Amino acid sequence: MFKFILKRVLEAIPTMLILITVSFFLMRFAPGSPFSSERTLPPQVMENINAKYGLDKPVFEQYTTYLTNVIQGDLGPSFKYKDFTVNELVSAALPVSAKIGSVAFVFAVVFGVAVGTIAALRQNTWLDYSVMSTAMLGIVMPSFVLAPVLIYIFSINLGWFPAGGWLDGSIQYMVLPVLGMSMLYVATFARITRGSMIEVLNSNFIRTARSKGLSYSYIVLRHALKPAMLPVVSYMGPAFVGIITGSVVIETIFGLPGIGKLFVNAAFNRDYSLVMGVTILIGFLFIVFNAIVDILLAYVDPKIRY
Amino acid sequence: MLTNKQNLDALDKFSENLEIEGRSLWQDARIRFMRNKAAMVSLVILFLITLSVILVPMLSEFAFDDTDWYALHEAPSAVHLFGTDSLGRDLFVRTFIGGRISLMVGVLGALVAVVIGTVYGATSGFIGGKTDRAMMRILEILYSIPFMFLVIVLVTFFGRNIILIFVAIGAIAWLDMARIVRGQTLSLRGKEFIEAAHVSGVSKWNIIRRHIIPNVLGIVAVYSTLLVPSMILTESFLSFLGLGVQEPMTSWGALLQEGSQTMEVAIWQLGFPAAFMVITLFCFNYIGDGLRDALDPKDR
Amino acid sequence: MHFNKNLLTAALLAGSFLGASFSASAAVVPEGVKLAAKQELIRGNGTEVASLDPQKTEGVPESHVIRDLLEGLVNQDANGKTIPGVAQSWETLDNKTFTFHLRKNAKWSNGDPVTAHDFVYSFQRAVDPATASPYSWYLEMTTMVNADEIIAGKKDKSTLGVKAVDDYTFEVKLDSAVPYFVMMMGHTTVKPVHKATVEKYGDKWTKAENFVGNGAFVVNNWVVNERIELVPNKQYWDNSNTVLTKVTFLPIENQVAEMNRFLSGELDMTYEVPNEHFRRLKKEHSDSVAIKGNLCTYYYNFNTHKPPFNDVRVRKAVSYAIDRDVVSKILLGQGQKPAYFLTPEIISDFTPELPAYGKLTQKERNSKAKALLAEAGYNEANPLKFSLLYNTSENHKKLAVAIGSMWKKTLNIDVTLENQEWKTYLETKKLGNFEAARAGWCGDYNEPSTFTSLMEGSNTTGGIHYKSAAYDSLIKQAIETTSADEREKLYYAQEALLTEDMPIAPIYQYVTTRLVNPHVGGYAVNNAEDKLYSKDMYIIAK
């Protein structure tokens, strides 16, 4: 275990380095600069601004300076939100996304796996069809449709929950965003679980177990669930990071100060340092969660060796 | 004593048995798939939808870009079956024409995901060790690179181009798939029959091709049907960056996007494209399930 | 009691003014209006502010918040008239040297007096290359002595034409006569900042815990992408007339989301209204829909240096064929007016003239357009083809599709629409890689030159490539003349030349439509520049 973690940490260094390098230069290829605006600034004003943010230097020098700062944990000042540093912005937004994201993730996994398992056990019955059809709606209904519908019903008509905002992040502000965010993942987990569970239930060792006369629910819980979780676990890494960082639509509609919105605004504003900061964060999360997933995979199937 | 008829029956059965033994995995799968009613019905519906998105816009009395200042946001009627949008354009023809790009993007995106994702994931998981780790680290990098900039840069260098849409969508479509397939492969690698193949000298590539991939196809079929709607929606995000379809042409994703903004005013703008999306997705879903059942190597 | 005191204060103040005869603005609650117990206002504010530092910002949302936090030399009243701010009065003899007399009771939120030295510091800071202000050109536009050379780094900021004659007398010297200079001093860029605080905290001085301002409110809480909360500044000279106890600005970019939050009662005032919902809102929430004119023009500009738009006949034909009545009345329909000129009608002290083509019916315009296009060599066999660039937005898309369809129907033009996200769009326009492109402009101050100077050859704003020596000379004359009549004539001449050369096709004049809860009092519905001061607003009891 220790060796595994050590290996992963060592591998993370070149991974991050490549990620930073590729993203840094990719971003600079994109047209527009953080300071281009509708009124073209007089050249000397532009020069002053570029000088202040170090954009007057050759790109490669900017890159090495940036890298040196990142290693020291300094993500630099935001180019757009001039009163803040990237460290401040990211550390303010991450807890919000993490809070909503983890609730939505746990909800999606628990609910999705449960629904998928039930559907698999009652394969091709009305229960299977109705449960899976509902789940399918979660997939086909994009969050930009689902969120306004939720708001229309629960905020405007019923007045149960606020239509947006975060404040201190108390529960009433979380219900609708969590619902809006997790539906897609509930459905996805349900689909994957169902498919995988059916496969496992058809396999020889389950048949053997059944022929031994063990009770069906015992078999499912004791023998089938674990191997059936294999693809679910694989999908958990991307799903978790996606839920935390990729929920721009939900964050925009509900006015949540999270990472997704920060990132998209940064990209549209060409806020180079902020884009890099969030990219590094996303990369970091991916590395960590994929490592966790690999550990979980080994737990689900002890035969797995890396 | 066998009667003639019995004889014939027995002969039939015998030849049937012979045939079964001679069937390849794929023939087998096809026969099983054909027996799946839900999947076959879905296939027919999908075929009809495909046919109609091609033909209906050609036959309709309205053009997809015909504006009418005096029929803004008109509810469905005999003239405009699906109503009109904010510029008085007929939604019936727009919904069908929108299906062209969406179906193409959805299917091709999923296809790319299946091909690249499966091969990449299976290779990574089967070879394992350093190769696996390197391949997975590459995946992590691809996941984390700001996709938006990739799209913007692509558009800047190559201009707007329909092929680019597929390049952009293909670039992200296969990542999740690769992770899932790799997880399955890791588990399969430890199975006896793979080890047996290994011991008997089958080459690595052949093991991947003949044993690993068929065994992961079930989950691949399920997951790829999930990808179809997400690809269709990604296309509308690309439009936002100036890469997707351009107005006055449209797509289901774009129609949904517009509809979601006006559902209190003109619910038909959301309802009809959404209905088509739902039907299409259900079809893909049942086809996916049918494929899964048909491809399951354990289920022979 | 409260109301009487307000009126009394206003009357007293009015009597004490020397140069200006307006009353200082404050929340003047009309007689008979009962105030609600809870005086908290929640305003939608579009996007997240880039900064709260007046010398570092350029956007509209920033200005809305800063207007409540910092007070400049002058303010505006509900009708858009310039009224005293920190300067109680001002005078000038030649429109070149301006003397502002500051009020002696103006204080910073930490209790320090607001003096002429603060303005000297802040003005210098705005042009200081080290500040890198994106709006430093604004001071250059006023022709303030040495502003241009300081920005270019050729002179020290101390040489700027500003002087504290004494603690409460602030003097500004300009190179040319600028009669509307005082009006320009209402802008965000020329608001004062507290020197000691800025120097102590650097970029972090705007944080709630560090903030020192001289406006009616101070920052209390700021969560990026969620909210900015302001509370009254106890030290503000007119604080006794501030009614609100809390003002919250919410950055909500999605118009439908903003509308929904308004409808569920979480917002008192939206920033915008989604166009498609306007008619519904007007019907179902008519008492909440507030419409006012806005100092902005929407237009398409042509790349006059590239075919096909290097031919004035093509430009004219394409412009004539836009049915502006359909655009403004049917597609937008919130009170937008058709535009046949660059300067919107709402501008003060100037009424743009409707050009000849604006007086025709659309049918007549269309036939003229057809004739012009045929003259330029385009016909059935050789249809005109071009692409129209716009930045991604539902409204721009809608108009582009509509206008494209007008062109197709009347002139058989084959137009390709091309949308790009904002920064790419700016870059494309800057490089001149477009044929026709959407554009819009809002005045920085309420005077025609803020619009007409846009078309000057040296002005590359929005990538305009119209370079006309005749036009530039008209602009120059208008700046140099000292006669107001003469200047007005020159503005007419500028507009006439634009109609003649048609480097742009004006389309419509903006309005600002908001949802304003009827319980909000003091909303300045007639302020064309949308300068809303929260200190003028109050919440009425139900």
DSSP string of A240-306? HHHHHHS-HHHHHHHT---HHHHHHHHHHHT-HHHHHHHHHHHHHHHHHHHHHHHHHHHHHSTT---
Q: Around Cβ C521, how many Cβ atoms within 10 Å?
A: 19
The beta-strand segments (E) located in C352-503 are 385-391, 414-420, 436-442
Q: Please write the tens of the pLDDT for every residue from C46-103.
A: 889 989 999 998 888 999 999 999 999 999 988 888 999 999 999 998 889 999 999 9
Chain A positions in Cβ-Cβ contact with residue C250 (cut-off 8 Å): 165, 255
Chain A positions in Cβ-Cβ contact with residue B190 (cut-off 8 Å): 301, 303-305
Q: How far apart are CA C85 and CA C186, in angstroms?
A: 9
The single-letter code of the amino acid at C289 is V
Q: Is C48 on the interface with A (CB under 8 A)?
A: yes
**What per-residue confidence (pLDDT) applies to C7?**
34
User: What tokens appear for A22 in the block?
Assistant: 């590729």
Binary contact (B247, C331; C-beta < 8 A): no
**Predicted confidence band at C10 (pLDDT cuts at 50, 70, 90)?**
very low
Q: Return mean pLDDT, chain C.
A: 88
Mean pLDDT (10-residue bins), chain B, 300 residues: 53 50 69 84 92 87 84 84 87 91 87 89 89 90 87 81 79 86 86 83 84 84 84 82 82 88 87 89 84 69
Q: How far apart are CA C129 and CA C127, in angstroms?
A: 6
Q: Specify whether the CB–CB gap between A256 and A212 falls below 8 A.
A: no
Binary contact (A15, B140; C-beta < 8 A): yes
Q: Which residues contact A137 (CB under 8 A, 6 or more apart)?
A: A187, B278
Binary contact (A26, B298; C-beta < 8 A): no
**What per-residue confidence (pLDDT) applies to B5?**
55
Of A37, A89, A255, the CB nearest to C58: A37
Binary contact (B133, A11; C-beta < 8 A): yes
Binary contact (A93, C224; C-beta < 8 A): yes
Of B144, B183, B218, the CB nearest to A297: B183
b/e for A261-270, b at 16 or more Cβ within 10 A? bbbbbbbbbb
User: What tokens appear for A246 in the block?
Assistant: 């990729």
Q: Is C251 on the interface with A (CB under 8 A)?
A: yes
Closest CA to A266 of A14, A100, A76, A95: A76
Chain C positions in Cβ-Cβ contact with residue A84 (cut-off 8 Å): 224
Q: How far apart are CA C171 and CA B125, in angstroms?
A: 76
Binary contact (A77, C203; C-beta < 8 A): yes
Cis peptide before C308 (omega within 30 of 0): yes
Q: Is C98 strand, coil or helix? A: strand
Residue that is written with structure tokens 């700027």 in the block: C160
Chain B positions in Cβ-Cβ contact with residue C330 (cut-off 8 Å): 69, 72
- The alpha-helical segments, DSSP class H, found in C444-483 are 449-452, 469-480
| Residue A157 CA to its chain's centroid (Å) | 31
User: What tokens appear for C368 in the block?
Assistant: 């003229």
Closest CA to B174 of B125, B233, B111, B236: B111
Query: ipTM of the assembly?
Result: 0.87
Binary contact (C424, B67; C-beta < 8 A): no
Chain B positions in Cβ-Cβ contact with residue A191 (cut-off 8 Å): 222-223, 225-226, 285
Q: Which residues contact A70 (CB under 8 A, 6 or more apart)?
A: A20, A276, A280
Please report the residues numbered 243 through 302 in chain A whose beta carbons come closer than 8 angstroms to any beta carbon of chain B.
Answer: 263-264, 267, 275, 279, 282-283, 286-287, 290, 293, 297, 301
Q: Which residues contact C504 (CB under 8 A, 6 or more apart)?
A: C299, C300, C301, C302, C342, C439, C455, C464, C466, C498
Kindly list the strands in the beta sheet with C162-166, ordered across the sheet, starting from the edge strand earlier in the chain.
C87-92, C97-102, C169-173, C162-166
Nearest-Cα residue of chain A relative to residue B186: A304
Q: Please write the tens of the pLDDT for every residue from A204-262.
A: 777 787 777 777 777 777 788 888 888 888 888 888 888 887 678 888 889 889 998 89
Q: How far apart are CA C98 and CA C172, in angstroms?
A: 5
Q: How far apart are CA C340 and CA C509, in angstroms?
A: 9
- Write the CA distances from B217 to A95, A130, B26, integer angstroms: 39, 25, 12
Q: Is C393 on the interface with A (CB under 8 A)?
A: no
Please report the residues numbered 73 through 92 in chain C whose beta carbons come closer than 8 angstroms to any beta carbon of chain A.
Answer: none
Closest CA to C378 of C415, C325, C405: C415
Q: Are strands C337-338 and C504-515 parallel, antiparallel or unpaired?
A: antiparallel
Q: How far apart are CA C353 and CA C494, in angstroms?
A: 11
Binary contact (C405, B67; C-beta < 8 A): yes
Binary contact (C392, B241; C-beta < 8 A): yes
Q: Specify whether the CB–CB gap between C440 and C298 falls below 8 A.
A: yes
Please report the residues numbered 196 through 215 in chain C whose beta carbons come closer than 8 angstroms to any beta carbon of chain A.
Answer: 203-204, 206-207
DSSP state of B271: H
Nearest-Cα residue of chain A relative to residue C440: A38
Q: What is the DSSP string of A98-156?
A: HHHHHHHHHHHHHHHHHHHHHHHHTTTSHHHHHHHHHHHHHHHS-HHHHHHHHIIIIII
Q: Is the dihedral of CA A61, A62, A68, A71 positive or negative?
A: negative
Binary contact (C276, B261; C-beta < 8 A): yes
Q: Are strands C520-521 and C538-539 parallel, antiparallel or unpaired?
A: antiparallel
Per the document, the length of chain A is 306
Q: Which chains touch B (3 or more CB pairs under 8 A)?
A: A, C
Binary contact (A83, C204; C-beta < 8 A): yes
First to last CA, chain A: 12
**What per-residue confidence (pLDDT) applies to B62?**
84
Q: How far apart are CA B152 and CA B160, in angstroms?
A: 10
Of B247, B264, B265, the CB nearest to C417: B247
B83: alpha, beta or left, given left = phi > 0 and alpha = psi -120 to 50? left
Binary contact (C462, A40; C-beta < 8 A): yes
Share of chain C above pLDDT 70, in %: 94
Binary contact (B160, C280; C-beta < 8 A): no
| Residue B288 CA to its chain's centroid (Å) | 9
Of C133, C204, C252, the CB nearest to A255: C252
Binary contact (C417, B248; C-beta < 8 A): yes
Binary contact (C424, B156; C-beta < 8 A): yes
b/e for A215-247, b at 16 or more Cβ within 10 A? eeeebbeebbbebbbbbbbbbbbbbbbbbbbbb
**What per-residue confidence (pLDDT) applies to C194?**
95
Q: Are strands C436-442 and C520-521 parallel, antiparallel or unpaired?
A: unpaired
Chain C positions in Cβ-Cβ contact with residue B156 (cut-off 8 Å): 424
Binary contact (A304, B187; C-beta < 8 A): yes
Q: Around Cβ A91, how many Cβ atoms within 10 Å?
A: 13
**What per-residue confidence (pLDDT) applies to B12?**
54
Cis peptide before C352 (omega within 30 of 0): no
Instruction: Determine the distance in angstroms separating the CA of A212 from the nearest CA of chain C, rounded to an integer.
Output: 58
Instruction: Determine the distance in angstroms separating the CA of B290 from the nearest CA of chain A, rounded to an integer.
Output: 11
User: What tokens appear for B65 in the block?
Assistant: 């870009």
**Predicted confidence band at C21 (pLDDT cuts at 50, 70, 90)?**
very low
Nearest-Cα residue of chain C relative to residue B71: C330
Q: How far apart are CA A271 and CA B31, in angstroms?
A: 56
Q: Please write the tens of the pLDDT for every residue from C247-287.
A: 999 999 888 899 999 999 999 999 999 988 998 999 999 99
**What per-residue confidence (pLDDT) applies to B23?**
59
Please report the residues numbered 239 through 258 in chain C whose beta carbons come closer than 8 angstroms to any beta carbon of chain B.
Answer: 256
Q: Please write the tens of the pLDDT for every residue from C461-498.
A: 666 668 888 999 998 888 877 788 888 999 999 999 99
Nearest-Cα residue of chain B relative to residue A242: B143
Q: Around Cβ C18, how many Cβ atoms within 10 Å?
A: 11
Radius of gyration of chain B (CA): 24
Mean pLDDT of A13-34: 90
**What per-residue confidence (pLDDT) applies to B297?**
65
Q: Bridge-partner residues for C511, per DSSP?
A: C293
Q: How far apart are CA A101 and CA A98, in angstroms?
A: 5
